[in-house]
Amino acid sequence: MSRKATASAPSNIAFIKYWGATDLDHALPANASLSMTLEVCRTTTTVQVHDDDGPDTIRIAPGDGTLTTAPDSFNERFARHLARLRERLGVHGRVEAVTHNSFPSDAGIASSASGFAALAYAISAAFDRLDTPEEMSVRARLSGSGSAARSTFGGYVMWPSDPGAPDSPATQHASPDIDLRDVIALVQGGPKPVSSLEGHRRAATSPHFATRQEHLPERTRRLSDALTGGDFDTFTELLEEETIDLHLVAMSSTPPILYWEPGTLAVIRSVRRLREQDGVPCAFTMDAGANVHVICPPSSEDAVAAAISALPSVHDVIRDRVGSGPRNESEHLF
């Protein structure tokens, strides 16, 4: 008997960033992070589990009806995640998987958060073992991707739930009723120059890392209050401060990591102009890459999208919003 299931899970954008780990292999973070779950940017994965014990396979569905093989680095992380999922669930079987991203795969948008959360859901669904979002967070984190641990909840998510216990799961911090939009400016195609994994490894070599850790609890508390209290001005100040702090640590690591491209700065300037000259509330943030996420209330979305689309260094814009989390899908990819 073979078991088949399909699930989709969203990507997320961190407001307070995970950067640096005490145990990278198990994604035990140096600090708590806080993110917004997205809705449009998501990964759909179909798994079929066969009774025999052959090698697992994963193929990518670009969306044009074809299937392609995944790069080696992806295959290795996929195989390791599957092995750990089987162990946690106490199940066996060879897995055949096909995965599809709703966003262009060369867009430079982090797909590991949505990808590993979707894999954890699809495997759990195939064995009728779907569980609470907390348990699913633990299963997603078995991939080694910390951001995946946050993609099992909708709304706004804190991971770990207990900052004193880095192995605790994520938890929903605020519901998707707080309606924020994420207008994503794509300024760079292709993979980022240095992976997040390598960035976490280098983080503590920065002379600014320790200062960042000292400031984070207070910044997280204030940003959270501003978010839940609807104080978008304070939220903006703290979100941008946090973004620059993350990149300051990256740039001052040994060896230094420079994620910014000319288009990154063009979008940052445009966001400031919109806010300061045109009175449009909006705030920039980035993860470990050059693309810029512009977070704004619904009333700003059209103005933000129009302004950044007009920049010559922005080659595409994705309009996303706070989302409701993973779900089962009835249509299989193969």
Q: Does 295 bind ligand DP6 (CB under 6 A)?
A: no
Cβ distance to ligand DP6 smaller for residue 49 or 140: 140
Q: Does 173 bind ligand DP6 (CB under 6 A)?
A: no
One residue of 46, 99, 137, 147 binding ligand DP6 per CB under 6 A: 147
Cβ distance to ligand DP6 smaller for residue 91 or 197: 197
Determine whether 330 is exposed, middle or buried from the number of CB atoms within 10 Å of its CB (0-12, 13-18, 19+).
exposed
**How many Å apart are CA 286 and CA 53, to the nearest integer?**
42
Paired tokens of 49: 């589990």
Q: Does 314 bind ligand DP6 (CB under 6 A)?
A: no
CB of 143 to ligand DP6, least distance (A): 7
Determine whether 297 is exposed, middle or buried from the number of CB atoms within 10 Å of its CB (0-12, 13-18, 19+).
middle
Q: Which of residues 240-259 bind ligand DP6 (CB under 6 A)?
A: none
CB of 69 to ligand DP6, least distance (A): 20
One residue of 108, 146, 166, 326 binding ligand DP6 per CB under 6 A: 146
Q: Does 284 bind ligand DP6 (CB under 6 A)?
A: no
Cβ distance to ligand DP6 smaller for residue 33 or 206: 33
Q: Which of residues 93-112 bind ligand DP6 (CB under 6 A)?
A: 110, 112
Burial 158-195 (b: 16+ CB within 10 A, else e): bbbbebeebebbbbbbbebeeebbbbbbbbbeeebebe
Q: What is the DSSP string of 268-299?
A: HHHHHHHHHHH----EEE--SSS-EEEEE-GG
**How many Å apart are CA 126 and CA 48, to the nearest integer?**
8
- CA distances (Å), 180 to each of 41, 133, 184, 273, 324, in order? 15, 22, 13, 20, 13
Q: Which of residues 31-90 bind ligand DP6 (CB under 6 A)?
A: 33
Q: At what angle do helices 196-203 and 232-251 cross, to 10 degrees?
A: 80
One residue of 44, 196, 264, 300 binding ligand DP6 per CB under 6 A: 196
Q: Does 274 bind ligand DP6 (CB under 6 A)?
A: no
CB of 235 to ligand DP6, least distance (A): 17
CB of 180 to ligand DP6, least distance (A): 16
Taking contact as CB under 6 A, which single stretch among the options 17-25, 119-127, 130-138, 317-325 is the one that binds ligand DP6?
Answer: 17-25
- Nearest CA-CA partner of 106 in 329, 320, 331, 315: 315
Q: Does 287 bind ligand DP6 (CB under 6 A)?
A: yes
Q: Does 157 bind ligand DP6 (CB under 6 A)?
A: no
Q: Does 184 bind ligand DP6 (CB under 6 A)?
A: no
Taking contact as CB under 6 A, which single stretch among the options 196-204, 232-240, 264-272, 304-312 is the one that binds ligand DP6?
Answer: 196-204
Q: What is the DSSP string of 209-261?
A: HHHHHHHHHHHHHHHHHHHHHT-HHHHHHHHHHHHHHHHHHHHTSSS------
Q: Does 169 bind ligand DP6 (CB under 6 A)?
A: no
Cβ distance to ligand DP6 smaller for residue 37 or 112: 112
Residue 190 has φ and ψ, to the nearest 5°, of 80, 170
Cβ distance to ligand DP6 smaller for residue 14 or 183: 14
Q: Which of residues 116-145 bind ligand DP6 (CB under 6 A)?
A: 145
Compute how many residues bind ligand DP6; rule: CB under 6 A: 17
Burial 97-114 (b: 16+ CB within 10 A, else e): bbbbbbbebebbbbbbbb
Prior bond of 169 cis (ω within 30°): no
Site for ligand DP6, rule CB under 6 A: 14, 17-19, 33, 110, 112-113, 145-147, 195-197, 200, 287-288
